[in-house]
Amino acid sequence: MSELFVRTLREDPADAELPSHRWLVRAGYIRRAAPGIYTWLPLGLRVLRNVERIVREEMEAIGAQEVSFPALLPREPYETTGRWTEYGDALFRVKDRKGGDYLLGPTHEELFTLLVKDLYGSYKDLPLALYQIQNKYRDEARPRAGLLRGREFVMKDSYSFDIDDAGLQKSYDAHRDAYIKIFTRLGLEYVIVQATSGAMGGSASEEFLAVAENGEDTYVRSPGGYTANVEAVVRPPATEQPYDDVPPAHVEDTPDSATIETLVAQANELQPRQDRPWQASDTLKNVLFMISHPDGRREALAIGLPGDREVDLKRLEAQVGESADIVPFSDDDFAAHPKLVKGYVGPQVLGSGELGPDESPAPGSIRYLVDPEVVTGTRWVTGANEPGKHVFDLVCGRDFTPDGTIDVAEIRAGDPAPDGSGPLELARGMEMGHIFQLGRKYAEALGLKVLDENGKLVTVTMGSYGVGVSRAVAAVAETTCDDKGLVWPRELAPFAVQVVATGKSEEVAAKAAEIAEALSVTGLEVLLDDRKASPGVKFADAEILGMPTIVVVGKGLADGVVEVRDRASGDREDIPVTDVVDRLLTLLGG
């Protein structure tokens, strides 16, 4: 400790929102270099290397081979697949001195595809799995919580190459098993959930989420075992209804009813129903968004959904594309569309049409998508496109025809699981890994073909698999730390044991050094606190730093004992000095 490059801090860093961020900075594991960009100090780097080691071992175990690509990449392959544009503002684009376009790799599908195309040409070369552990760059809109969402971060990304779908399924399953081993070894409590594939394209995909209250992802699970990221929940459409008996739509006065709550109250007062009171779910709410796509297109979108539900912006982003900028209609947008009366918008003025880059949408040409609950024959109370007026008995399929369906309503606890496996429960998690069956999208775009057994050229099918390596450091810290500091599981700890010498006596210092030396020759990683600091300072630091086992050499020596503390449980035990090395070896499996 007297030589280690570390300074523990007594104060929380001002920008730290989460415990993991706070403790990793305070314990001297990382330092911020710029927003979302961090420097690894010796202790942090040791943890990072431990995560990498676990990931490497499990990748090698399924036969994946390590390569290392540059992070600075040429534009062309990303142009070919469309991602140069599609990635939007999240892509770090750079120019060289000749004006050539480059990017800092956010993920490397293109490069891996081209590399394999470069060198391989036959079905005999497949299957193949390649991986790298490397810095990735994404100009995240909201860098957050230190390592959890960085703009430079470490990812393990791997890619599988197969001749057919059965091969891809096998490669995917092998990765899935490897991920189960990785996240189990990292000591994370995790769930595997169905996912959407985002900017990556492709079909089958699952995420590994660390269960954590502070996680940014919301997932659902049912008693029958359905699990999915809320972004990926697909609600089945409601059943179509006969509507022969429904009276014609009629417009009614509902003064001051621009919100669903006031509308329901007005409807019950002025247009009471015979069978039961009106409720929010009888109303059709039409929500307007302005969407700016990464290629410059702007598009107005109206979403119709039952009035008791909100649009979940993350679910909407997942549907529209994460790089699109989606904002609710502004007052200016409303002003530009005089037919749309804020608070009283009805489907009659909505429907069809996209826009050019600079045009604002012409009234009546707004794309109108509805919730899966809004099907033919369902009848609604909704805006009449006049202030203070609503229309009743407006029937979908009779009085209005949406342009399509969009499933972006918030998912609520108790909603039925789409597969019929019971009511959903909601919880939060952090995305630690993501596995995709990419299929032929990239191979097609970049021309990766091989000769099959019959000498025919076939397009290779691919999988892509990511682990957030630096995020894992933070996620483990987040889920294990306590109010005194970090608490590392053994496999990740920078050192297995911290030996703390307390008091000023030469004898204590010598004994502590001797124990540290004896432990270290057995192969254990040992950190010796040999500083001339008070016992209080040393204990506090040992708690902040979070090594799993702490050996206190001090007063007890007079009675021939040292104290062994378990950082996680706080348990303390006096052990005879003569036994301490053997005891720790048994304890730590050395």
Tell me which residues touch ligand ATP (CB under 6 A). Answer: 107, 138, 140, 149-150, 153, 155, 198, 431-434, 466, 468, 470-471
Cβ atoms of residues 474 and 21 within 8 Å? yes
Q: How far apart are CA 129 and CA 157, in angstroms?
A: 11
The item of Mg ion, ligand ATP, none sharing an interface with residue 433, based on CB under 5 to 8 Å by kind, is ligand ATP
Q: How far apart are CA 95 and CA 556, in angstroms?
A: 65
Q: How far is the CB of 434 from Mg ion (least distance, A)?
A: 4
Q: What DSSP state is assigned to residue 122? A: B
Burial of 95 (C-beta count, 10 Å sphere; 0-12/13-18/19+): exposed
Residue 379: strand pairing partners: 395
Q: Which is nearer to Mg ion, 136 or 434 (CB)?
A: 434
Q: How far is the CB of 433 from Mg ion (least distance, A)?
A: 8
Q: How far is the CB of 208 from ligand ATP (least distance, A)?
A: 7
The item of Mg ion, ligand ATP, none sharing an interface with residue 530, based on CB under 5 to 8 Å by kind, is none
Q: Which is nearer to Mg ion, 21 or 138 (CB)?
A: 138
The item of ligand ATP, Mg ion, none sharing an interface with residue 446, based on CB under 5 to 8 Å by kind, is none
Query: By CB under 5 A, is residue 434 in contact with Mg ion?
Result: yes
Q: How far is the CB of 114 from Mg ion (least distance, A)?
A: 23
The item of Mg ion, ligand ATP, none sharing an interface with residue 471, based on CB under 5 to 8 Å by kind, is ligand ATP
Q: Which is nearer to ligand ATP, 329 or 436 (CB)?
A: 436
Dihedral angle, C-alpha 399, 402, 403, 405, nearest 10 ° = -160
Query: By CB under 5 A, is residue 138 in contact with Mg ion?
Result: no
Window contacting Mg ion (CB under 5 A); options: 10-18, 372-380, 429-437, 478-486: 429-437
Cβ atoms of residues 462 and 253 within 8 Å? no
Dihedral angle, C-alpha 81, 83, 84, 85, nearest 10 ° = 120
CA 64 to chain centre: 24
Q: Which is nearer to Mg ion, 434 or 511 (CB)?
A: 434
Q: Which is nearer to Mg ion, 312 or 543 (CB)?
A: 312
Q: How far is the CB of 314 from ligand ATP (least distance, A)?
A: 9
Burial of 269 (C-beta count, 10 Å sphere; 0-12/13-18/19+): exposed
Q: Which is nearer to ligand ATP, 108 or 309 (CB)?
A: 108
Q: Which is nearer to ligand ATP, 195 or 493 (CB)?
A: 195
The item of Mg ion, ligand ATP, none sharing an interface with residue 149, based on CB under 5 to 8 Å by kind, is ligand ATP
Q: How far is the CB of 437 from ligand ATP (least distance, A)?
A: 14
Q: Which is nearer to ligand ATP, 154 or 519 (CB)?
A: 154
Q: Which is nearer to ligand ATP, 382 or 470 (CB)?
A: 470
The item of Mg ion, ligand ATP, none sharing an interface with residue 160, based on CB under 5 to 8 Å by kind, is none
- Alpha helices per DSSP H over 422-491: 441-446, 469-480
Using Cβ positions, the residue closest to Mg ion within the complex turns out to be 434
- Is the bond preceding 363 in cis, omega lying within 30 degrees of 0? no
The item of ligand ATP, Mg ion, none sharing an interface with residue 107, based on CB under 5 to 8 Å by kind, is ligand ATP
Q: How far is the CB of 470 from ligand ATP (least distance, A)?
A: 6
Q: How far is the CB of 198 from ligand ATP (least distance, A)?
A: 5
Tokens representing residue 264 in the block? 């329901």
Cβ atoms of residues 399 and 264 within 8 Å? no
Q: How far is the CB of 216 from ligand ATP (least distance, A)?
A: 6
Using Cβ positions, the residue closest to ligand ATP within the complex turns out to be 468
- Alpha helices per DSSP H over 237-326: 260-270, 313-320
Q: What is the chain's Cα-based Rg?
A: 30
Q: How far apart are CA 295 and CA 292, in angstroms?
A: 8
The item of ligand ATP, Mg ion, none sharing an interface with residue 221, based on CB under 5 to 8 Å by kind, is none
Q: How far apart are CA 375 and CA 130, in angstroms?
A: 47
Say whether 153 sits in a helix, a strand or coil.
strand
The item of Mg ion, ligand ATP, none sharing an interface with residue 367, based on CB under 5 to 8 Å by kind, is none
Q: How far is the CB of 233 from ligand ATP (least distance, A)?
A: 16
Residues 139, 144, 146, 149, CA torsion sign: negative
Cβ atoms of residues 143 and 24 within 8 Å? no
Q: How far is the CB of 388 from ligand ATP (least distance, A)?
A: 43
Nearest to 352 by CA among 317, 407, 302, 294: 302
- Alpha helices per DSSP H over 186-322: 260-270, 313-320
Amino acid at 251: V
Q: Which is nearer to ligand ATP, 264 or 472 (CB)?
A: 472
Give the C-alpha distances (Å, rounded to integers) separating 179 from 57, 200, 230, 268, 522. Answer: 11, 19, 21, 55, 31
Query: By CB under 5 A, is residue 26 in contact with Mg ion?
Result: no
Q: Which is nearer to ligand ATP, 150 or 402 (CB)?
A: 150
Name the one residue in this structure whose structure tokens are 């076939």.
Answer: 458
The footprint of Mg ion (CB under 5 A) covers 434
